[in-house]
Structure 1
Amino acid sequence: MIRSLWIAKTVLDDQQTNMDVISNNLANVSTNGFKRQRAVFQDLMYQTLRQQGALTSEQTLLPSGLQIGTGVRPVATERLHSQGNLSQTNNSKDVAIKGQGFFHIQLPDGSDAYTRDGYFQRDQHNPLVTAGGFAVVLTIVIPENALKYTISQDGIVSVVTLGNSEPQQVGQLTLTTFINETSLENIGENLYLETNSSGVPVETAQGVNGAGLLYQGYVETSNVNVAEELVSMIQTQRAYEINSKAVSISDQMLQRLMQL
């Protein structure tokens, strides 16, 4: 087989992967707290036809060798945790993070998850739950007779209860940080899981160890830039077209060779 056929085939596969990632980014442009991904690629092994520094028949050293690449492969989809814009909702249950950190979530099986999506609601058992109904893990207790509560930028929670119009501090809403947040595992529903590469979760107060600040009445929007994704889509499409042409030309060369 002509080597160029295989090389072009690997590029077609990779550009399809790249297009899948871009499409998923665009699909989540309106998803609260969504973090865009980018595909990471790596060249495949090389066939060495002439070694660098080898001795020639004239007893000289070759300054450069002859190596032919064999294509490319995807090695990772990196999630980019850059800050999304804050959108005002005027809903007191909504909380946005500006800076690093995640909200700590408890799944139905008791395991831990983490999210940047601060669109919260309340149910009969928990003062704060995600849009999917998962409970936000709180180190504070909000009284059942609380009429309203406020959350300051540094996470201090104050409540006004029935019969007492003066706000009373009940604790602090903390954030969870990771030493390598790009290695968190995304499981859907805006949730992430800890992995061996992410490091252990560290509960910390706002403004400490890089943790961000909280903004009540706001949600963090997706960090997807539509214009950038469309440009990447065009580049991916062009790369796919060029390598499709390479497959066609290689096929013609192979046919011509078989006719000799």
Structure 2
Amino acid sequence: MMRALYTAASGMIAEQTNVDTISNNLANVNTNGFKTERTEFKSLLYQTLQTKTTTANGDNKPVGAQVGLGTRVAATTSMYTQGAMLASESKTDYCLDGQGFFAVRGIDGQTYYTRNGNFTWNTTGDGRVMLTDHSGQAVLDAGGNPIYVPNGVPADSIEVSQTGRFAYVNPDGSKVDMGISFGVYQFNNPAGLEKISDSLLQQTGASGQPLQEGVVQGLKTSKVLANYLEGSNVQVADEMVNLIIAQRAYELNSKAITTADSMLDTANNLKR
């Protein structure tokens, strides 16, 4: 009977993690570029209750006698489907329509990746105007360098095409190509990216190396849409259903523990 206690306890622990994941999804329903996460489970070892044969001549049984020992969390998988495109009045808000990621240089000098295109122009210590995220981290161009406004050019005159190309508009209405574009990258396995705070992602061995759009052959390039932001792809109705299912599973495992405890109590009272 002790087996049932530990098995049900493993189910409660796993479902608690499931509820934690669903709660995080709901908490980020309005986070730009957030990707919903799903908890994956796997069964634990099975215990063999009988040998493969119960006859003297050693004939195999058609079916075995095994009992499972519970479950555990195998992974938390991010679902990289396209989020809703939300119109914005800010000229430094950008949405990626495709599989790409913006590149950002962190304060530690490392390159991180994000789907959150909520950027802004920021004045640096040397007086130059640089495109950053709202934490002040530099957004990188296709060459891996920060994006600066040319000297003498107003920041609000900067425009970005759907190919991610930067240009500024002169007072006479003519456009001047700045010769730079957004650095947009894809990964063979984006679900393998490590999630950091501030909507940033870090490459890992599981994600593979970043593949730069426009450089690596065979990649479908993403469109860069100015005055738009990519909203979270969390579906509230689905998450509420998943939350109810997780709650019911947690309650059932709790009931299994209560039942096992009651059966143990009954067995202990047989000698009285």
Q: TM-score range by the shorter chain?
A: over 0.9
Which consecutive residues of structure 2, in runs of 5 or more, have no partner in the other structure?
Answer: none
Look up the equivalent residue of 2:152 and give its one-letter code.
N
Q: What is the aligned partner in structure 2 of residue 112 from structure 1?
A: 111
State the identity as a percent. Answer: 37
**Residues 126-205 of structure 1 aligned to structure 2 (within 5 Å):** 126-138=129-141, 139=143, 142-147=149-154, 148-161=157-170, 165-171=173-179, 172-205=181-214
Q: Deviations over 1:133-178 (max 9, x none)?
A: 11101246531322312211111222124x5531011232230111
Q: Secondary structure at the match of 2:123?
A: coil
Q: What is the aligned partner in structure 2 of residue 97 from structure 1?
A: 96
Q: Secondary structure at the match of 1:128?
A: strand
Partners in 1 of 2:242 and 2:60 — Cα distance?
Answer: 43
Q: Secondary structure at the match of 1:122?
A: strand
Look up the equivalent residue of 1:103 and give its one-letter code.
F
Aligned residues: 258
Q: RMSD of aligned C-alpha atoms?
A: 1.9
Look up the equivalent residue of 2:76 and give its one-letter code.
T
Q: Is the 8 A contact 1:155 1:205 kept in 2?
A: no
Distance 1:145 1:208, change over 3 A: farther
Distance 1:180 1:22, change over 3 A: same
Q: Secondary structure at the match of 2:201?
A: strand
1:230 paired with 2:240, answer yes
Look up the equivalent residue of 1:247 and give its one-letter code.
I
Q: CA deviation at 1:91?
A: 1.4
Q: CA deviation at 1:102?
A: 0.7
1:22 paired with 2:18, answer no
Q: Is the 8 A contact 2:140 2:182 kept in 1?
A: no
Q: CA deviation at 1:90?
A: 2.5
Which consecutive residues of structure 1, in runs of 5 or more, have no partner in the other structure?
Answer: none
Look up the equivalent residue of 1:228 and give its one-letter code.
D
